[in-house]
Amino acid sequence: MIAARVRRMGGGHWLVLFSLILGAWGLLYAMALPQDLRDGAVIYGADFLQSLCIVTPDAAGFGRIALMWALMSAAMMAPTALPAFATYEELSHTGETRFGALVAGYLGVWLGFSILAAGAQMALFQAGLLTAFGDSRSGVLSAGLLAVAGAYQFSPVKEACLSKCRRPLSFFMQHWDEGAWRNGVRLGLVCLGCCWALMALAFVGGVMNLAFMGLAMVIMVLEKLPDLGRYLTRPLGAGLMAASVWVLFTSI
């Protein structure tokens, strides 16, 4: 069943979507600062980066940070929705136009999230809780984010959203008459309900840490699988809460 779906992902619209995902990862890689510059910033301070024309959050302004979050959301979240996109295409009889509207609605939700996340990053940076790279410099903040993400894994909202992501056929059949755009927005909101707390952990793992982003994407993909995901959600929550306690005590 899965193999058959993969073989059918060969149309032009799928190639465009895969190119979008790969392009987002490529741009994130290009934007990531190498470790030697990070080490230099620790030694010489933010002025060192500015002297090299490397943009820091306070100098870059809101737009660049929002763009970075938009790229990160597209790179991490679009792959988690591929089973839902494939299910929609199997139900659709009108070709690529409706598929494009579905994906646009989905990504539109994550664009809104990116704007909010960028605002949060700016506020936390100005408060001295994040570094210029978007990494937490507060053990309390890191522990709090881990605790929220861990507790959210046990919440009814998380379970309700996951149930829809794991059964995309039922989800689309329920809302089919609303059209592709609105179905895409609905799917994006459900996906946001599943993953917003895990995405917020970027402030702990590193906003531009590609290894963290890759690991988080894999976890979110697995969590949405109907057979495997239900065995992952609660243990992941327990692990995040344990990590919260460990970070809090080691930072005191």
pLDDT at 243 over 60: yes
User: How many beta carbons lie within 10 A of that of residue 239, not counting itself?
Assistant: 13
HEC-encoded secondary structure of 40-70:
HHHHHCHHHHHHCCCCCHHHHCHHHHHHHHH
CA–CA gap between residue 189 and residue 93 (Å, rounded): 24
CA–CA gap between residue 24 and residue 244 (Å, rounded): 30
pLDDT digits (tens, 9 = 90+) for 176-233: 888 889 999 999 999 999 999 999 999 998 887 888 888 999 999 999 988 888 899 9
pTM above 0.95, yes or no: no
Nearest residue to 142 via CA among 15, 238, 244: 244
Cα-Cα-Cα-Cα torsion 138, 140, 144, 147, nearest 10 degrees, comes to 110
- Confidence band for 52, pLDDT divided at 50, 70 and 90: very low
The region of weakest confidence among 24-28, 73-77, 93-97, 141-145 is: 93-97
- Which residues, in sequence order, are bridge partners of residue 86? none
DSSP code of residue 136: B
